[in-house]
Amino acid sequence: MLKQGETKTVEFEISTDDLAFYRQDMSYGVEAGFFDVYIGTSSQQNRQAEFSISEETQSPH
């Protein structure tokens, strides 16, 4: 727990497995594209990061 006014930098990884989903054809995988991640206490106060996935993948599930 942070004290009021205290800040701390955190890091985490988002794997392709975290982004995988069942598509309309029921294959399971990740689609290529550009993604935005927002982290914050509200939609008004947040931080943004961007990343991309260059090729579509199939994931065993």
Q: Which residue type, as a one-letter code, is found at position 20? A: A
Mean pLDDT of the 12-39 span: 90
Domain ranges for the chain: 27-55
Percent of the chain at pLDDT exceeding 90: 34
Residue 33 confidence (pLDDT):
92
Answer yes or no: is pLDDT of 61 > 70: no
Do 37 and 48 meet the contact criterion of CB atoms below 8 Å apart? yes
Give the pLDDT score at 34. 93
Distance CA 49, CA 51 (A): 7
Cβ pair 35, 52 in contact under 8 A: yes
User: How far is residue 9 CA from its own chain's centroid?
Assistant: 17
Predicted confidence (pLDDT) per residue in 1-23, tens digit = 889 999 888 888 888 888 899 99
pLDDT at 52: 92
